[in-house]
C-alpha cells in the first residue's frame, strides 16, 4: 500500500509539474493585455475543443477582431483576416518571413523538402525549375490533352450512374479523376484510378488523404512527438501510410528512370517528372530519389486536392443554386455552339480549346466565387524571422507565427461587402467580362513571390471538367435540404463525401 500511495503521489506531482511547465511556456513573456500586441483569444490547446469546426470558429473570431493571437509554447500564433497584413508578410517583407522550423517539422514526414515545405535556396531552385516547366508550351498542350481525355472518361462514368438512377459520391470520383490527371501530366503514368482498374492507385489515394489529415492533426496534438517516438495512435497510422506512399512513389521514379534510359535520344519529355529526372543528372547527389519523391508528393497535393476539392464545392454550389447552374450550362452551349444538338462526348471535349476556355467568363467567375468561399487551402502561414510591426499596428516577436485565414477572409463583410456570405459569381464580372481582384484579398492561390505556379493549370482543368459535366447533366443533391461541411485538414475536403444525382441534360 505504501508503494502504491507514493506512486500515486509521484504521478500527481509529475502531472502538476507538467501543467505548471506548460502554463509557464504558454503565458510567460507574451505581453498579454498589451494593446501593442494582438488581443489573445485563447491558446493553441483550445483548438482541440472546436477542431471539427476550426475554420468556422476562426471566422467567428475574425468577425469581431481582424487580427488575434493564440498562445503557444515559447511563441504566439497570430491569425489575421486583414489584407494589408497579408500583403505585408507575403510581399513587402517576404524575406523576413519563412515557413519556420516548427511548420517544416510538422509536415516533413509527408512533404519532405518539397516546394511547399522549404525556404531559401532550396525553394528558389525548385521554384525556378517548376516555373520554367509551367511556362513550357509542350507541357501546356500535353496537360490539356490529359484533362480532356479524363473529362470524357468522367462523363461516361457519370452517364452510367445517371442511366441507373444511382446516387454517387461526386467528390470521390473527382479525386480519382484529378489523381489520374496529375499522374499523367506530372509523372507520365496512366494510373486508371477513375475507371476503378487500379486497386493500388485507390489505396495510394486513401493513404495520401489520410496522411494529409493526420499531419494536420499534429498542430493541435501536444503529444504527437511522444506518440511518434513510441509509434502509437495517430502517429503509427501516419507512419504506415507514409511507408506505403514512399514504396509506391519510389516505384514510379524507378520506372521513369528506366524508361528514360531506354529512350534517351527522344525529345518528347512531356511530363514534369521526366524533366526533373533529366535535370537531376546535372546534380545527382542533391537531386536524388528522395528529392524526386518530395517533388512528386508536393505536386500531388497541389494537382489533385486543390482541383478536386474546388470542383466538389463548385458542384455543391450548383446544386444549391440551380439558376447559376443553368446559366453556366447556357454559356457552355453558346460558346461551344451546341445549342441545337446533343454532341458526342469525345467530339465535345476534343473541341474545348484554349480559345473556348477564354470565352467562359461566367464559369470562370463561378469557380472563383467557389474558391472565395471554399478555398482549397483554408489557412496558411509564415514565421517571423525578426521582430516586426504589421500594417494594422500590432507587434510580433521573432519566432511568432502569422497565419492568414483564406476561409475566414472570404466571408468578411469588411472585405467583400454585406453579401459576403452569398454565392454570387456576378461580383467577379464587369460588362460580362471576368475581373480579377487583389491576390492579397483573394488569397486562394497564395500571393507574392510564392504565388501558385499552377494557377492557370488548375483553372484549365477545372473549366474543362465543369464544361463537360454541365453540358451533359443537371446535378441535384440526393437530399435537397442537405448541408455539407468540411473535414479539418490541410486541404478543404467535403466531410463524408458529396452524394448527388445526375439527370441527363436535354
In tens, the pLDDT along 295-351 reads 878 877 777 788 999 999 999 999 999 999 999 999 999 999 887 778 899 999 998
Whether 208 and 200 have beta carbons less than 8 Å apart is answered as no
Specify the DSSP class assigned to residue 359: T
Q: Which residues of the chain have pLDDT under 50?
A: 24
Cell digits of residue 264: 534517351
Global pTM value: 0.91
Per-residue confidence (pLDDT) for residue 340, from 0 to 100 = 74
In the block, residue with C-alpha cell 511548420: 103
C-alpha count within 13 angstroms, C-beta hemisphere, residue 170: 30
DSSP, collapsed to helix, strand or coil, labels residue 371 as helix
pLDDT at position 24: 47
Q: Cα dist. 44→71, 79, 350 in Å?
A: 6, 11, 50
**Sign (positive or negative) of CA dihedral 261, 265, 270, 274:** positive
Q: What is the pLDDT of residue 493?
A: 93
Q: Which residues contact 3 (CB under 8 A, 6 or more apart)?
A: none
According to DSSP H, which parts of 359-454 are helical?
361-373, 406-409, 413-416
pLDDT at 9: 65
Q: Is 271 helix (H, G, I), strand (E, B) or coil?
A: coil
d(CA 350, CA 338): 13
Do 117 and 225 contact (CB within 8 A), yes or no? no
User: Judging by DSSP bridges, how do beta strands 486-487 and 75-80 pair with one another?
Assistant: unpaired
SS3 for 146-164, per residue? HHHHHHHHHHHHHHHHHHC
The Cα–Cα gap between 68 and 41 comes to: 6
Bridging pattern class, strands 401-405 and 75-80: parallel
- Are 273 and 188 a contacting pair, CB within 8 Å? yes
pLDDT value of residue 17: 55
Question: CA-to-CA distance for 410 and 393, rounded, in angstroms?
Answer: 23
Pairing of strands 493-494, 486-487: antiparallel
Alpha helix stretches (DSSP H) within 188-336: 199-217, 224-230, 233-262, 272-280, 289-300, 306-320, 322-336
Q: Is 473 exposed, middle or buried (0-12, 13-18, 19+ CB in 10 A)?
A: buried
The pLDDT assigned to 38 comes to 85
Domains and CATH numbers, the chain: 31-504 (1.10.630.10)
Answer whether 476's CB lies under 8 Å from 503's CB: yes
Query: What are the angstrom distances between the C-alpha of 10 and each of 17, 21, 22, 418?
Result: 10, 16, 18, 57
Amino acid at each position: 500500500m505504501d508503494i502504491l500511495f507514493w506512486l500515486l503521489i509521484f504521478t500527481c506531482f509529475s502531472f502538476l509539474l507538467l501543467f505548471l511547465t506548460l502554463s509557464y511556456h504558454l503565458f510567460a513573456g507574451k505581453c498579454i493585455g498589451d494593446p501593442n500586441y494582438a488581443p489573445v483569444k485563447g491558446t493553441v490547446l483550445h483548438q482541440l475543443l472546436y477542431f471539427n469546426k476550426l475554420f468556422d470558429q476562426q471566422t467567428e473570431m475574425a468577425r469581431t477582431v481582424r487580427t488575434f493571437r493564440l498562445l503557444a509554447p515559447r511563441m504566439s500564433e497570430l491569425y489575421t483576416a486583414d489584407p494589408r497584413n497579408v500583403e505585408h508578410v507575403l510581399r513587402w517583407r517576404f524575406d523576413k518571413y519563412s515557413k519556420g522550423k516548427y511548420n517544416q517539422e510538422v509536415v516533413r514526414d509527408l512533404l519532405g523538402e518539397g516546394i511547399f515545405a522549404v525556404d531559401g535556396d532550396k525553394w528558389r531552385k525548385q521554384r525556378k525549375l517548376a516555373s520554367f516547366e509551367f511556362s513550357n508550351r509542350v507541357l501546356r498542350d500535353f496537360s490539356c490533352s490529359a484533362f480532356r481525355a479524363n473529362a470524357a472518361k468522367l462523363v461516361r462514368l457519370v452517364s452510367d450512374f445517371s442511366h441507373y438512377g444511382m446516387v454517387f459520391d461526386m467528390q470521390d470520383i473527382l479525386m480519382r479523376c484529378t489523381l489520374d490527371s496529375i499522374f499523367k501530366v506530372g509523372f507520365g503514368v496512366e494510373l486508371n484510378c477513375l475507371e476503378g482498374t487500379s486497386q493500388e492507385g485507390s489505396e495510394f489515394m486513401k493513404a495520401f488523404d489520410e496522411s494529409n489529415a493526420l499531419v494536420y492533426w499534429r498542430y493541435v496534438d501536444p503529444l504527437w512527438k511522444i506518440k511518434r517516438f513510441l509509434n502509437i495512435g495517430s502517429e503509427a497510422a501516419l507512419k504506415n501510410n507514409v511507408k506505403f506512399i514512399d514504396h509506391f512513389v519510389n516505384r514510379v521514379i524507378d520506372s521513369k528512370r528506366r524508361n528514360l534510359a531506354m529512350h534517351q535520344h527522344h525529345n518528347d519529355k512531356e511530363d514534369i517528372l521526366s524533366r526533373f529526372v533529366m535535370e537531376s543528372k546535372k546534380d545527382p547527389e542533391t537531386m536524388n530519389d528522395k528529392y524526386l519523391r518530395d517533388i512528386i508528393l508536393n505536386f500531388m497535393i497541389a494537382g489533385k486536392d486543390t482541383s478536386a476539392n474546388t470542383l466538389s464545392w463548385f458542384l455543391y454550389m450548383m446544386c444549391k443554386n440551380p439558376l447559376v447552374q443553368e446559366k453556366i450550362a447556357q454559356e457552355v452551349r453558346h460558346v461551344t455552339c451546341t445549342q441545337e444538338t446533343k454532341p458526342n462526348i469525345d467530339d465535345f471535349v476534343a473541341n474545348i480549346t484554349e480559345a473556348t476556355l477564354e470565352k467562359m467568363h461566367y464559369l470562370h467567375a463561378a469557380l472563383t466565387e467557389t474558391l472565395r468561399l471554399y478555398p482549397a487551402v483554408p489557412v496558411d502561414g509564415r514565421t517571423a524571422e525578426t521582430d516586426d510591426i504589421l500594417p494594422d499596428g500590432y507587434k510580433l516577436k521573432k519566432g511568432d507565427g502569422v497565419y492568414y485565414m483564406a476561409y475566414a477572409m472570404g466571408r468578411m463583410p469588411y472585405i467583400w461587402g454585406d453579401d459576403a456570405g452569398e454565392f454570387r459569381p456576378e461580383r467577379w464580372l464587369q460588362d460580362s467580362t471576368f475581373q480579377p481582384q487583389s491576390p492579397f484579398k483573394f488569397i486562394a492561390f497564395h500571393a507574392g513571390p510564392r504565388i501558385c505556379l499552377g494557377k492557370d493549370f488548375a483553372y484549365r482543368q477545372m473549366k474543362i471538367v465543369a464544361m463537360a459535366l454541365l453540358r451533359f447533366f443537371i446535378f441535384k443533391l440526393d437530399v435537397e435540404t442537405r448541408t455539407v461541411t468540411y473535414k479539418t485538414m490541410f486541404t478543404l475536403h467535403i466531410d463524408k463525401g458529396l452524394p448527388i444525382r445526375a439527370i441527363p441534360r436535354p
